[in-house]
Amino acid sequence: MFDLFKQKGEASAPDVKTIRHGLLQFIKDQLQKWEGGEGVNIKGLQLFLSPTDEEKHLYEASVYLDQPDKFREEEVQRIADDYALQLPHNAALELLFVPALPAEAIKAKDLPVALHVSTRKQPTLTTPTTAYLRVASGEAEKELYILTSKGGKVCIGREKRVQTAEGFLRENDIAFSSASQNSSNKYISRQHAHIEWNKEVGGFFLYADEGGIPPRNKIKVQTGSGDVLRLQSTHIGHHLQEGDQIVLGESALLQFSYVERD
């Protein structure tokens, strides 16, 4: 691998192009071990990044964080094709910015990154993961909610504490008030949706609850690539990815990200 940082007195600040080249070279070195069709056994890739605060924006740009599918479909897929890896179509690539690199992942020599290849025998790492859900339209108790892989089920709905159709009490962690003058709130159900961490997959999943499926108020998601999905069942969840936009009812909008933005 090339030396990303010059030695002694020759140090220079890295740029996005140089960082991206280093990331791809590192991934290429690791995926080369799966050459010859063995890529079909790969369930997913987790790329952990732990840059300094000063360089974080460069690393975000290097992996096209605002276009989460681009890094996998254009850059990593090209590597897979070179080595005939035949990665499964549903093999996810997770880009995880973390305070410290997990010990179980393979660390790069010259970059603050590590890669974990998950298979049936080597499951996805379950190191603590944090994500952020921002209320972009509608009025909830807070504008920004923090999701953690150890935080349990996060319920979303109208009002903080409600009684379900079965007579039980439900506490909404993300609650939209009925008293709000914001018109988006009135189309949110008391039991609209919830988010759960999936340990096996290593990601956050969005599920519709009884009030969030047809013929009641609906849920739709626009992915980072622009695809629009509609949740039609309480049993099938959507694996949230960087940049996903979630519409509850008609216009309440939540934005999902692994990066805390201003």
Angstrom distance (rounded) from CA 184 to CA 203: 28
* Residue with more model confidence, 258 or 115: 115
- Please state whether the predicted TM-score (pTM) of the whole model is above 0.85: no
For residues 148 and 96, membership in a common domain is answered with: no
Q: Looking at residues 194-218, what average pLDDT do you find?
A: 85
C-alpha dist (Å) from residue 192 to 160, 162, 175? 12, 12, 10
pLDDT attached to residue 17: 94
Q: Read off φ and ψ for residue 75, nearest 5 degrees.
A: -90, -55
Angstrom distance (rounded) from CA 5 to CA 50: 16
Question: What band does 8 get if pLDDT is binned at 50, 70 and 90?
Answer: very low
CATH number at residue 211: 2.60.200.20
For residues 165 and 100, membership in a common domain is answered with: no
For residues 111 and 173, membership in a common domain is answered with: no
Question: What band does 127 get if pLDDT is binned at 50, 70 and 90?
Answer: low
For residues 75 and 110, membership in a common domain is answered with: yes
Count of C-beta atoms within a 10 Å radius of residue 167: 6
Look at the block and give the residue holding tokens 């997913």.
44
What range does the domain containing 41 cover?
16-119
For residues 99 and 136, membership in a common domain is answered with: no
For residues 134 and 111, membership in a common domain is answered with: no
User: Can the peptide bond before residue 112 be classed as cis, meaning omega within 30 degrees of 0?
Assistant: no
Q: What is the DSSP letter of 35?
A: T
Residue-wise pLDDT for 47-81, tens only, equals 999 999 899 999 999 999 888 688 888 888 888 78
Residue 69 lies in a domain: yes
Q: Read off φ and ψ for residue 154, nearest 5 degrees.
A: -115, 110
Residue 50 lies in a domain: yes
Q: Looking at residues 11-40, what average pLDDT do you find?
A: 80
Q: Are 176 and 187 within 8 A, CB to CB?
A: no
pLDDT attached to residue 105: 86
pLDDT over 50 (residue 1): no
Structure tokens at 93: 């690539």
Among 153, 135, 152, smallest CA distance to 144 is for 135
For residues 115 and 212, membership in a common domain is answered with: no
Angstrom distance (rounded) from CA 98 to CA 51: 9
